[in-house]
Amino acid sequence: MIYEPIFLDVNSEVPMYRQLYGSIKERICSGCPAVGEKMPSIRRISEELGVSRTTVEQAYGQLCVEGYLVSRPQSGYFVEAAVIEKTTLPTDDMTDDEPEPTVQYDFGSRYVDSRGSDLDLWRKYLRAVLSREDIVTSYGHYQGEPELRRQLAHFGSLLRGVNATPERIVIGAGVQPLLSLICGLLGERAGRVGIEYPCFPHAERVFRDFRLDITALGHDKYGVKPEELYASKADVLYLNPSNTESMGRPMPVSRRAELLEWAERTDGLIIEDDYNGALRFRSLPVPAMQGMSDGNRVIYLGSFSKLLMPSVRLSYMALTPELAGLYRSRCASYNQTSSKTEQLALAEYIRDGHIEKRLRRLRKIYSEKSDRLIALLNEYFGSIAKIRLAETALCAELILQSSQTPEELTAIALAGGVRVIPADTEHGAPKLRLSFAGIQSEDMPEGVRLLHKIISPYCQ
């Protein structure tokens, strides 16, 4: 009798039928009653355990749903399957998420200056959206909220010279989901991708995940060399013309025109990642390359993480008309990734003109902060390092004479309480980056002094 050792607790918060279900399941899984055996009737269990027939019916019903029991008309319930569940928790070799080290002076790039962050205003817009019930209880538009796409078409045209209608704009939670979308839309057309190194590692990751061929393209002082591009047989070119990292400045218009000509001639496609393209403070922003073309060969990618808040995952792209048509024909199988609430808050924030005000304010703040940081670095490191401004990255670069790697120097600095960003090496000299985006101006002098004290013993 399987029900003999079953004890049900009438005072428990767990419903009776659930207790009974659990007990029977446990017994079946331990092999008694065995597979094929007939179960006692509902009436009999009900009488012997002193529970209602409904309780037993519910327990048996659930066991049937899960496949442990089967009900055969006119003959009763039988054990259908016994499965030994492995309930031991897996032991991982992985360590838990590492605790953050104590950082006194943070020249890392994970924060933005809260003075420039318009936090109260942003909260106001989010709250206004949250108060609209119909918005929160329904799914968003697959392509991104139409109102935000309208605002972005206008904003992109005004501030970046991008030519796109709202129908060609697709919103996503960062550049990676958008690049994944592009790779999917291109299909076999994207066989080989040409990239200029150093490139945004998150973009390269997506191309690698899609198992595309990646060709590293050489560059001269104007950027990617057109002859290498032709020779590479690339179908797609990924680049950031408003901030070519290898040059530390925008790509000149003549080279842009040559690359657009490549696309026309070879039926190629250019993915223009305009990361922080609008946020220049030493000169005017250079208009986007997409706007120099007829829009049939260039996909434009823009992002708001530095412009708005790093916590807001919101990027957008302007597809070519051809790819936009393909995307829309597949719309039923794509979901939007970006938060609907944040999209609608951003639409109203842009509509009310705040993004331009914010850009002006950020330009002022970053211009002052970069001047201050460069001056401090010259004061302390002038004799032992080359110092450079990476404008769009919101960083100063420090190229040191040291036998340590950038990663080693970063770890030494961090142990002393200063966070910096390891970069690559230049002619063997390790390069560190110091972001001025997050740190407060008044903390810079002491931060640079401390950094100098910590790492100068490791420099010649």
Cα-based distances in Å from 54 to 40, 42, 46, 51, 292: 15, 9, 9, 8, 74
350 CB-near residues (< 8 Å, 6+ apart)? 148, 151, 152, 154, 155
Contacts to a second copy from residues 190-229, by CB under 8 A: 201-202, 204-206, 208-211, 222
Kindly tell me which of 254 and 460 has the beta carbon lying closer to a second copy.
Answer: 254
Among 170, 183, 346, 434, binds a second copy (CB under 8 A): 183
Contacts to a second copy from residues 137-166, by CB under 8 A: 137-141, 143, 146, 161, 163-166
Rounding to the nearest 10 degrees, give the CA dihedral for residues 198, 202, 205, 210: -120
Cα-based distances in Å from 131 to 124, 338, 339, 348: 11, 19, 15, 14
Q: Does 33 bind a second copy (CB under 8 A)?
A: no
CB 372 within 8 A of CB 441: yes
Kindly tell me which of 95 and 383 has the beta carbon lying closer to a second copy.
Answer: 95
Q: Does 364 bind a second copy (CB under 8 A)?
A: no
Among 95, 102, 383, 460, binds a second copy (CB under 8 A): 95
Minimal distance in Å, beta carbon 312 to a second copy? Answer: 7
Contacts to a second copy from residues 303-322, by CB under 8 A: 305, 309-313, 321
Q: Does 188 bind a second copy (CB under 8 A)?
A: yes
For residue 115, give the 3-state DSSP assignment: helix
One-letter amino acid at 265 equals R
Contacts to a second copy from residues 366-425, by CB under 8 A: none
Q: Does 41 bind a second copy (CB under 8 A)?
A: no
Contacts to a second copy from residues 56-75, by CB under 8 A: 61-62, 65-68
Minimal distance in Å, beta carbon 56 to a second copy? Answer: 14
209 CB-near residues (< 8 Å, 6+ apart)? 180
Kindly tell me which of 440 and 456 has the beta carbon lying closer to a second copy.
Answer: 440
> What are the φ/ψ torsions at residue 343 (nearest 5 degrees)?
-60, -45
Kindly tell me which of 2 and 253 has the beta carbon lying closer to a second copy.
Answer: 253
CB 117 within 8 A of CB 309: yes
Minimal distance in Å, beta carbon 403 to a second copy? Answer: 24
Minimal distance in Å, beta carbon 441 to a second copy? Answer: 16
Minimal distance in Å, beta carbon 52 to a second copy? Answer: 17
Q: How far is CA 207 from the centre of its chain?
A: 15
Q: Does 253 bind a second copy (CB under 8 A)?
A: yes
Minimal distance in Å, beta carbon 283 to a second copy? Answer: 5
Among 92, 267, 428, 457, binds a second copy (CB under 8 A): 92
Residues 50, 76: Cα–Cα separation, whole Å: 20
Minimal distance in Å, beta carbon 297 to a second copy? Answer: 11
Minimal distance in Å, beta carbon 199 to a second copy? Answer: 11
CB 289 within 8 A of CB 260: yes
Q: Does 294 bind a second copy (CB under 8 A)?
A: yes
Residues 316, 164: Cα–Cα separation, whole Å: 12
- Please name which of 194, 153, 201 lies closest in space to residue 324, comparing C-alpha atoms: 153
Q: In what order do the strands lie in the sheet with 429-435?
A: 385-390, 395-400, 429-435, 421-426
- Please name which of 346, 343, 344, 366 lies closest in space to residue 354, comparing C-alpha atoms: 346
Q: Does 251 bind a second copy (CB under 8 A)?
A: yes
Q: Does 168 bind a second copy (CB under 8 A)?
A: yes
Contacts to a second copy from residues 98-127, by CB under 8 A: 110-114, 117, 119, 122-123, 126-127
CB 314 within 8 A of CB 401: no
Minimal distance in Å, beta carbon 258 to a second copy? Answer: 10
